[in-house]
Every structure is written in C-alpha cells, then in structure tokens.
Amino acid sequence: MQGRVLVAITGGIAAYKVCHVVSALAKAGVEVQVILTNSAIEFISPLTFATLSRRPALTDADFWQPTHGRPLHIELAEWADLLVIAPLTANTLAKLVHGMADNLLTNVVLASRCPVLVAPAMNTTMWEQATVQANWQKLLQAERYLAIDPGSGVLACDAVGIGRMAEPEAILAAIESILLTKGRQDLQGKQVLISAGGTREFLDPVRFIGNPATGKQGIALAIAASLRGATVTLVLARSAVNSASLNSAIQVIVVETSAQMHHAMLENFGKADITIMAAAVGDVRTASYSDRKIPKALLPESLALEKIPDIVADLAKQRRNDQRLIGFAAQTGNQTEVIAAAKSKLERKQLNIIAANAVDSQQTGFAADTNQATFINDAGVQVTTPLCSKLELAHRLLDFGLNDFK
C-alpha cells in the first residue's frame, strides 16, 4: 500500500479504534499525518498518535501558530492523497455539509480536492435524528465523499442500536481501495452478486467433506465493488475467515452447504448486473446423511458419494445478455496447465470472464493474504497480474471486467 493519508480524529469515544488504523498504515509504509480536533484531545492524546504515525500529531494549537512557510492547512490539503475522518461526529458532519471552516480539520477539507472517507460514530438516537440524517444524505451527494456506514451493536453509552463506528479492518480496506482507485465510483447503480468461502458437505452433525478455502478473495471482491459504488450481495460460506473488514452496506447471506449456496445464488442472480463466483464449492457429497453422530466403530470403510449440482453452470443457463458472469479456476500445476484448465472451464461453463490462479503456492494459495491470477475473457483477451494483495487483485479483476461493460 502506497500513498499519503491524512487521518482526522474528532471528539468521540471511537477514537481509540483509530489507533489500530494509524499503526497499521504506518507499518505498511503509508505516509500518515494525524489531525486531532480540540474535542478529540479530550478522548485520546496527540502523543499516542505521534508515536503510532512516526510524526507529530497536529491540533488546532498548531493551526494558529505563525509559520515561516505557507499556511498549514494549505500544505496539508495539497500533501494528502486521501483524507480520512474517523470517527465523524454529528458536529463535524454538520460543519462539512454547511462548508464551515472554524478549525484545522475543516479548513483542510475546504482547501483540498482529494477524496474524503468518513466513518460516522454516535449514539443511536443522535444518528436517527432527522437533522443528522438530512446532513448525512446531503454529504453523500457530494462526489468526493465516500462513506463507511456505522454498524449496529452495543454502544459506549450501553444503548444497543446503529451508530457504532466501522471496525478498523473495514476502514483499512476502504483506505487501500481508495488509494488504488482514487475514489472513482464506476459501479454506481450496479448490482453485484459474489460468492465466497468453502462449502461443507456433512456426513453427520460433526463430520464433513470440505476444502481449505477461507473466503478472503471473495470478501475482497465484495469490499472492492462496494467502495466503487455497487450494491453488493455476498453469499458467504460459514467456513470463511473473520469478516470484520466488510462494511455494513454489504448484504451478507451466510450459508454452509453447496445446496444452500446454490439456492442463494439462484435466488439473487436475476437482479445482478455482475456475478462473481469466487467460492470453492464442493464437487461431491455423501449419498446419505445421519442426523446423529455415527459411532466411530460404525463408520463405513468407504463412502458412497454423489456429484453436487454445478452452480456456475446453472447460472450461465439463466444469464441474460446484459449480465456478466465471472468465475474462478483454482488450479495446481505449472502456468501452462493452470491457464489451459481455466480456458476449458471458461468455454465449458459459458462464462464471460475467468480468473485462473494457482493454489499450490504459499503466496497465492488458500488462506494467503496475497494472490496472482490470469484473467481471460470470452473474446480471448488474457492479462496476468503481478503478485499483489487480494484486495488489489479484486480491483484489477473489476477493471478487466469493466472494459467492455457499461
């Protein structure tokens, strides 16, 4: 991850979550500059963020000091590739909407042209106030503002409801995405359906046939599509890893078996403009199932298996000309073998695009944080990506798929 990120903290208890964001960015090699409002200092000290960011954290006291160069807010505004405001309070939200500039943060916002990522946090009753919601909707109408909606849960005031700031993992994923795309919203108005994770086929309540898929790549695709403006539905196998990086705007349907995933994908396919089948769905399941644990002594020496219906092939039969269907080919072997198998699958299953990736490598296999793939479309165009994060690969796949799709 590369870039210059200005992180602004306003006065809310969720400020403590931003420590992880700033620390992770600095460790990843991102240049980070922190601004704290006067209210934020009541919750967390500038020294904490100075230590985590490896540079002095700035406050309003710095803003009003005489300088020997250009005004501080102009320097910061021109320096930043991205401005992140987290937590965003109702007070600062109102200031942004009405163009106020009464502190360092709001002056930087008005002096800058870079994308602004906002992550609100407040009490549920405050969030649901008509004035706050009106301000929120007005802010989102401005092209440069990108948002991670608050989630639901137990708040610091002991209330239970919406208003909880997005988790640090979700904020970090959004930052990486915006640095990659410059905040463009080229999927605005599109419906995207994605499957992720590995399905499980049960022999009895405690034993199953499965695979090592974690869902990391599918989750990355959902995040990427959502942050580019799409309405995203993610069908996520229960075996997937922690999904804290998902923002609350993504609709998640949790499944476990291939039959459940098959049903969910078919049910949501009709409204999707783009469907990406990134899940590792089982090929076979046991021919019979016991609803009680089978005693070890009674386990059969061999299992009778039956083939699982092919989800992507069934989707292809229903695909309209205005829909894009994208699949993955997780293969082993050398590059020639991997691509040959992917091309065969692309044609056999009537896909628009396939992403071929080798899974017999620690850097590109199941559970890895990085990936590499060759994208092939039905016109024969073929592009191989460098080794990169799974989020970057997700954006590269969307770029490839959008070349001929408006």
Q: Tell whether pTM > 0.85.
A: yes
Edge to edge, the sheet with strand 116-120 lists 31-36, 4-9, 82-88, 116-120, 145-147
Q: What is the pLDDT of residues 85-124, one digit of tens each?
A: 999 999 999 999 999 999 999 999 999 999 999 999 999 9
Q: What is the amino acid identity at position 110?
A: L
Q: How far apart are CA 7 and CA 49, in angstroms?
A: 10
**87 upstream amide cis, omega within 30 of 0:** yes
pLDDT of amino acid 153:
79
pLDDT of amino acid 106:
97
Q: How far apart are CA 330 and CA 279, in angstroms?
A: 10
4-181 folds as: Rossmann fold (3.40.50)
Q: What is the pLDDT of residues 170-200, one digit of tens each?
A: 999 999 999 999 999 999 999 999 999 999 9
pLDDT of amino acid 66:
75
Examine the pLDDT at 406 and tell me if it is beyond 60. Answer: no
Residues 6+ away with beta carbon under 8 Å from 223: 170, 173, 174, 177, 245, 246, 247, 250, 391, 394
* Average pLDDT of every residue of the chain: 92
Examine the pLDDT at 139 and tell me if it is beyond 60. Answer: yes
pLDDT of amino acid 160:
81
pLDDT of amino acid 402:
81
**Helix (H) / strand (E) containing 339:** helix 335-348
Across-strand partners of 256? Answer: none
Domain with CATH 3.40.50.1950 in the chain: 4-181
How big is the CA angle at 45 (ends 44 and 47), to the nearest 5 degrees? 145
Examine the pLDDT at 239 and tell me if it is beyond 70. Answer: no
pLDDT of amino acid 256:
93
Examine the pLDDT at 363 and tell me if it is beyond 90. Answer: no
Edge to edge, the sheet with strand 231-237 lists 251-255, 231-237, 191-196, 274-277, 324-331, 353-358, 374-377, 382-384
- Which DSSP category does 210 fall into? -
Examine the pLDDT at 156 and tell me if it is beyond 80. Answer: no
Q: Nearest 10 degrees: CA dihedral of 142, 146, 148, 149?
A: 10
How big is the CA angle at 141 (ends 137 and 143), to the nearest 5 degrees? 145
At 43, the pLDDT band (50, 70, 90 cuts) reads very high
Secondary structure of 31-99 in HEC code, one letter for each residue: EEEEEECHHHHCCCCHHHHHHHHCCCCECHHHHCCCCCCCCHHHHHHHHCCEEEEEEECHHHHHHHHCC
pLDDT of amino acid 35:
97
Domain with CATH 3.40.50.10300 in the chain: 191-402
Task: Specify whether 19 is catalytic.
Answer: no
Q: What is the pLDDT of residues 283-325, one digit of tens each?
A: 899 999 999 999 999 999 899 999 999 999 999 999 999 999 9
CATH number of the domain at 191-402, out of 3.40.50.2300, 1.20.120.80, 3.40.50.10300, 1.10.1040.10? 3.40.50.10300
Mean pLDDT for the stretch of residues 152-158: 77
Which segment, 156-160, 334-338, 352-356, is predicted with the most confidence on average? 352-356
Q: Which two tokens stand for residue 107?
A: 């002056």
At 241, the pLDDT band (50, 70, 90 cuts) reads low
- Which DSSP category does 198 fall into? B
- The size of the chain, in residues, is 406
